[in-house]
């Protein structure tokens, strides 16, 4: 009888844990979808107004961007357990839409610009769906990727800052290709953390996955613009 009670209690605990993980994952996907709306609005407003944080000085623009972004990160972490955190996250995605507008405006300068943007969006959606599916069904533990992926992001950031002065096309292409690979793997890592119970806050989870998706889209769009853009 005691064994039966223990068995039932264990099942209830596992069921409860699974329910929490499913709820976090579901809320993360909903908030991620919602976050695309202010991103699109920010990009549209940025293109329409000619917004560019880097117009006067790339270094000043980089410093301003990092300050604003990390300010949002700090505030979202502080209010991650309340509705204020959701509003801050949506505000951050609007800001990232503004930052995206310079690239979008450049791509729209091509005669096939709209097609390139839709192709980049479709490619990003396919990558996300594939990585999310693997993270959800795979029995393999991808938690060991975290340290290596973080190191990869740091190297990409250093290379990107260096290329502000170097202006090497080959380095820019290398950075974009590596970024797509690294942030695709980050989707795998971040979603499996939710599935395995390592992340229980859907606002923080959404922020992590949003950054993964954003970086894949921007780098994929950059590559498409370089190799597929047409001025005719």
What's the mean pLDDT in 102-119? 95
Residue 9: pLDDT above 50? no
* Ramachandran area for residue 50 (φ above 0: left; ψ -120 to 50: alpha; else beta): left
Does 139 or 156 have the greater pLDDT score? 156
CB 220 within 8 A of CB 120: yes
- Mean pLDDT taken over the chain: 90
Cα–Cα distances in angstroms (integers) from residue 44 to residues 39, 97, 232, in the given order = 9, 8, 24
Higher pLDDT, 121 or 197: 121
Instruction: Yes or no: say if 208 and 190 are a contact pair by the CB < 8 Å rule.
Output: yes
Q: Are 164 and 207 in contact (CB under 8 A)?
A: no
CB-based burial, 163-182: b 16+ in 10 Å, e otherwise: beeeeeeeebeebbebbbeb
- Joined together, the tokens standing for residue 110 give 């091509």
Q: Percentage of the chain with pLDDT > 70?
A: 92
- Residue 53 — pLDDT band, cuts 50, 70, 90? confident
For residue 218, give every residue at least 6 positions away whose Cβ sits within 8 Å of its Cβ, in sequence order, or none: 100, 103
Task: Give dist(CA 76, CA 88) in Å, integer.
Answer: 6
Q: Calculate mean pLDDT across residues 20-30.
A: 92
pLDDT at 15: 57
């Amino acid at each position: 009888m005691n064994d039966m009670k223990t068995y039932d209690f264990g099942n209830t605990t596992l069921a409860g844990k699974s329910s929490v993980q499913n709820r976090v994952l579901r809320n993360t996907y909903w908030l991620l979808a919602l976050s695309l709306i202010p991103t699109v609005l920010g990009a549209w407003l940025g293109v329409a107004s000619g917004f560019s944080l880097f117009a006067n000085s790339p270094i000043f623009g980089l410093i301003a961007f990092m300050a604003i972004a990390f300010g949002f990160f700090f505030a979202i972490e502080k209010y991650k357990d309340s509705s204020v955190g959701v509003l801050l996250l949506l505000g951050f995605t609007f800001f990232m839409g503004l930052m995206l507008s310079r690239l979008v405006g450049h791509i729209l300068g091509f005669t096939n610009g709209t097609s390139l943007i839709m192709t980049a969006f479709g490619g990003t959606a396919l990558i996300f769906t594939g990585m999310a599916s693997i993270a959800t069904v795979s029995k393999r533990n991808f938690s060991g990727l975290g340290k290596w992926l973080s190191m990869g992001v740091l190297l990409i950031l250093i290379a990107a800052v260096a290329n502000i002065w170097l202006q090497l096309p080959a380095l820019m292409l290398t950075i974009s290709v590596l970024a797509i690979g690294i942030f695709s793997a980050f989707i795998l890592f971040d979603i499996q953390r939710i599935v395995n119970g390592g992340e229980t806050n859907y606002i923080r989870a959404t922020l992590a996955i949003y950054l993964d998706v954003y970086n894949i889209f921007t780098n994929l769009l950059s590559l498409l613009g370089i190799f597929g853009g047409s001025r005719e």
